[in-house]
Chain A
Amino acid sequence: MARHSRTLMLPMMAALMTTTVFAQGAMTDVGTPRSETMIVQTFDGRSSNPSAQNPLNSYAIWRGFRELGWAALWEMDTATGESYPELADGFPEVLNDEHTKFRVKIREGIKWSDGEDFNVDDIIFTFDTAFKYRDKLTNVSSITRLVDSYEKIDDHTFEVTTATPVYDFVTRMGVYTWGMPFNWVPQHVFEPLGDEVVTFQNAPAVTLGAYKIKEFDPNGFWQLWELREDWDESGWNIDEEPAVKYVYYKDFGTEETRALAFVQNQYDVDTFMSPDSIEAAKARNPNIETFSPTFPYHDMNDACSYGIYINNQKAPYDMPEVRWALALALDLEQVGISAMSGQFKASPLPLADTPITNPLYVEPLESWLEELTIGDGYKPFNTDFGADLVETLASQGVDQSQLPSGEAVEEGFGIGWWKHDPEQAAKMLESVGMTKGSDGFFTMPDGSPWVLEFVIPGDWNKVLQRVGFSIADSWRQAGFNVNARQVDNGEFGTVQTTNARMELQINWSNSCTYNVNWQNSWRNFRADNVLPADSNDALVQNFARIVDERIFDIVSESASLEIGTEEFVENGRQIAKYLTEDMQMINLMNIPTTIPTNSTYWTNFPKQDNFYAAPYTWWSSFKKTVTNVEPTGQ
C-alpha cells in the first residue's frame, strides 16, 4: 500500500510540476513543445463520440477534420471567394453543352497519411460505396443525388455525369466557403471491411491533409494533430513547410474557464467568447487581440448574416405593410449597442456585406436603396446609420481612437440600415386596418389581439439570444405585443422547418451568399419547396418561406447560366431587390462571431487589416492560418 501511495504521489507531483511548466509555456499538457503547438478552442465544446471518424456517416467533424484532415478537389480562398485546385490538377473540363459531363484530373504523387498512394481508384471506390450503401450511410446523399454516373479514365483522370445541369461543379464537388459536403475515403482501408463499412468508426482516420491524427481523447475533449513528415506529398498542394508542428484542438470548458485559460496563454485561438469576456481578457493580457483594432472589433467578414425570417404565408405577415412596420419599428442601433456593445456591421440586403460581396451586390445596389420608396412614397433607408452609431457610441464614452471615421465608418458599420421610425410603422399598420388597442398594442385587422411569436436561440448561441431579446424589447416599445421565446437548438431546427410552428424567427441559414455564386444560398427558393402555411411537414430549405413567383422564375432561369456572367450576377441582385422591397425577410447584420487570438506564441493571424483568409478555426480554410502563422520564439 505504501508503495502504491508513493506511486500515486509521484505522478501527482509530476502533474503539479507539469502545470507549472505548462503555465510557463515550455510544454503542453499533451507533451508537445508549446512553441511548436497551436492550440485552438473546439467549435462544439466536447464531442459525445470522438471515435466516429468515418466521413460517410455523421462523425466528429469539429475535431479538425475538414481543416487539417481532409482535402478537397477544389478548395476556396476565403479572402477572395475564388476556388483553387487542391487534389485536382486544374479545373474540370466540361464535356458537353448541357453541363452534365465533366472530366477531372487529379495531381500525381499525393499520398494518404499512412503513406499509401491516393489516386482515382480511391475516388471510384468512394462513389461505389456511396451508391451501394446509400440507404445505410447517412452522409452520402449530397453525392448520390448530384452524380448520375462516373468512370475511371486512368489512374489520375475520371469523368462524372451529373443528374442535372451543373454550373457550379467545382463548389458542389469541392468547397463552398467552409467545407465540402463529401469526402474521399481510402480504398485500402475501407474495401476489406465489406458490408461493415456502414458501421465502421474509422478511428484514427487515415487522412489526406498535411496533418495526421497523433492522438485523440476518447472522452471527446481534445484531439492532437501532427504535421506529416511527408507534408509535401499531402493533398494540400503546399510548397513551404508550415511552422506549426502540432495543432491541438481542445475544449477549455465554460466561458469563464476559457477566459481565464486564455489570459494564462494556455491557448491561441478562441471561438464564440462573448465581447464582454474578450474585453476582460484583453485588459489582463495585452497579447489578446480582436479581429479589428477599432470598432466594430468582431465583424469577421462572415459568410452569413443574421436576419428575422418571417412566415410570409401566415396572416398578418403575408402583408408587406406589416413586414415593413416590423423593420421600421426596430431600433437596430439600440439593439446592437445593448446586445453587442456596438460590435456589428449592419446589412440591409439579404446577405453579409463583406469585402467579397460588397462590390458584387452591395455597392451596385446602394443608390437603389437610397431611392427606394414604400407606401405613400416614404423613403425608408437611412444612409447615416453608421455615422449616427459612431456619434451615439462616442456620447456613451467610447474612446474616439477606437471609433472609425470618414470612409472607414461605412467599411466598419455598413452602408446604412432602415430608419427607426415607429410613427411610419404605425401608419403602415393602420393602412391595413391594424390599430392600437386599449392595452397599447397593435391588434389584428379584425380587432382581435395580435401576439407575435418570435423564436430565438437559448444560451447555445448567446450573441443571437441577446440580439433576439433586444429586438423584442424594441418592438414592444413600439406597440407590438411580442413573445420572445428562447428555444434549445433542437427545437430551433424544428421551428425552422415547420410552418405550423413558425411566425418570426431569428436565423441565418438562407443568407449565406459568400461570392458571385448566389445559387448556393438561394437555389432552394422554388415553388416545390413551399408548404401550406399551417403544415406540420418538414420544409426542405427555403426557411425564409419565400413565396414570390418572380424569385422562383429567376432561380429557375439562372440554373442554366454560367456562374459569374453579368446576367447571372444581375439576377442575384434582382432577387436581393425583391426580397428587400417587399421586406420578405428583415436582414440585420453580418454575423458578429468572435474569434479573439492570443499572440504570445504565434503571430500573423488573419485580421481585418491582414485578411488572407477567413479567421474561423472550423472552416476548411483554417489550413491557410495554420500555414501562415509565425512563431514568436516564446
Chain B
Amino acid sequence: MGALVYIAKRFGLYLAVLFIGLSITFLLPRLMPINPVDGYIGQIQSRANGALSAEAIAELRDNLENLYGLKGNLFTQYVDYMKRIVFSFDFGPSFTYFPQPVSQMLMAALPWTLSLLLTATVIAWTLGNLVGLVAGYFHKKKAASILEFVGILLYPIPYYILAVTVLLLLAYVFPVFPLSATFPVGQMSWEKVGMIIYNSLLPGITLVLAGFGWNILSMKALAVATTEEPYVIYARLKGASNWTRMTRYVFRNALLPQVTALALSLGMVFNGALLTEMIFSYPGIGLVMRAAATGGDYNVLYGAITISIIAVATAGLVIDLLYPLLDPRIRHK
C-alpha cells in the first residue's frame, strides 16, 4: 500500500511538472521580442531584393497570420496548443519552413543528437566515476593525485576552447579526422555506418573529455568522504580486502548522487549540444533550436522544449522510482 502511495505521489508530481512546463513553454517564445511573421516577410523581401510591393506584403502578412494560427486571443491559442500536444502530440507546422511539420524536423535531428550524446554521456560518466573512485579511495597515494590532476585540468577548460583545441590537434596539425565532416546520405550500409561512427568520433571524444573531468572530481570527493565512514573502517578492521571495500562499501554508497546526476544528464541530452554541432558540423537538435529561436519559430521551439521537458521530468520520475531499489534507507522509509 505504502509503495502504491509513493508511486502515485511521484506520478502526480510528474504530471504537474509537465503541465506547468508546457504552459511556460507556450508563453516564453511569445515574450521574445521577435515576430515570426515579420521574420518570414523579411526573408522573402530580402530574397526578392525589395521587389515585393506593399500590397503583396500586406497579403502575405494576412495569410501567414492565418496559416500560423496567430489570429485569435492568447487563451484560445493556448487551449488549441494544449489540445494538440496532449491528445495528438502534434506541434503543428514550422513557421520558418511552412508547411513542414515540426515533428518531422525534430525526428530527423533527434537520432543524431541521442546517439552522440547518450554514448558520450555514458562513457564520460563511467570513465569519470571509475577514475574518481580510484583517486578517492587511494587519495593518500601520489598516483591518485595525478588522476585528480587530470580532472582538475579538464574540468575548468571552457568547452569551446577544448573543442577547438581538439579539432586543431586531430584535424589540422595531425589530420586524422576531417575538419568538417560530411555524413553519408541515402540507403544505409555497414560502410556508411562506419563512416558515420568515424565522423562522430571527434565530437564524441571532445564531449567525453568535457564530461569526464566533473565526474572524476565529484566521485573523488564522494569516495574520500565515504572512505572515512565508520562502516568502511569497520570493514577494514574485519579484514575485508581493498577491492571489496572499494567496490562494495565505497562505490555503492558514493554512487547515489552520481546516478542522479547521470539521469538528469541523460534527460538533458534532448536539448542537443549546440556548440558541438556548430564546431564539428554535426547534425542535431541544437542547431534546429537555435534557428527556431532566432527566427521566432514558436512551433519548433514548443516541440523541442516539450520533448526536453518530458525527458527531464521522466528522468526525475525514473530516479524517484529507482531510489528505493538502490537505497534500502529510502525503501525502509
Contacts and interface: CB of A to CB of B under 8 A. Distances in A.
Interface of A: 4, 7-12, 14-16, 19-20, 22-23, 29-30, 46, 48-49, 51-52, 57-58, 61, 66, 134-136, 138-139, 141-142, 144-146, 171-172, 176-181, 198-199, 201, 215-222, 250-254, 256-258, 260-261, 264, 266, 303, 460, 487-491, 493-497, 501, 509, 512, 520-521, 523-524, 526, 528-529, 538, 540-541
A524 B195 contact: no
B113 to A, nearest CB: 11
Nearest to A256: B164
B268 to A, nearest CB: 21
Nearest to B289: A48
B179 A218 contact: no
Given A48-B96, A141-B56, A261 B179 contact: yes
Contacts of A487: 33
- Which residue among A146, A180, A199, A221 has the maximum number of chain B CB atoms within 10 Å of its CB? A221
- Which residue among B58, B100, B197 has the maximum number of chain A CB atoms within 10 Å of its CB? B100
A256 B294 CA distance: 22
By Cβ-Cβ distance, the 6 closest A-B pairs, closest first, are A11-B194, A181-B48, A219-B283, A490-B34, A145-B56, A49-B97
Contacts of A260: 167-168, 171-172, 179
Interface string B9-49: 00000000000000000000000111111111111111111
A48 B281 contact: no
Contacts of B39: 489-490, 493-494
B75 interface: no
Contacts of B179: 252-253, 257, 260-261, 264, 266
B57 interface: yes
A493 B50 contact: no
Nearest to B35: A494
Contacts of A493: 34-35, 38-39, 42
A48 B288 contact: yes
B281 A7 contact: no
Contact of B49 (A7, A48, A136, A303): A303
22 contacts: A4-B190, A9-B194, A10-B194, A15-B194, A19-B175, A19-B178, A46-B281, A48-B94, A52-B97, A141-B57, A144-B56, A219-B108, A253-B179, A264-B179, A490-B39, A493-B35, A494-B39, A509-B46, A512-B49, A521-B50, A528-B54, A538-B35
B301 to A, nearest CB: 11
A471 B310 CA distance: 46
Nearest to A143: B56
Interface residues of B, number: 82
A141 B191 contact: no
A501 to B, nearest CB: 7
Given A7-B194, A177-B49, A512-B50, A141 B60 contact: yes
B296 interface: yes
B312 interface: no
B199 A488 contact: no
A176 B53 contact: no
B299 to A, nearest CB: 12
Contact of B53 (A145, A221, A496, A509): A145
Interface string B73-105: 000000000000000000000101111100001
B251 interface: no
Interface string B124-141: 000000000000000000
- Which residue among B36, B178, B288 has the maximum number of chain A CB atoms within 10 Å of its CB? B178
Nearest to A529: B54
A80 B59 CA distance: 34
B287 A12 contact: no
B283 A16 contact: no
A138 B294 contact: no
A597 B288 CA distance: 29
A540 B99 contact: no
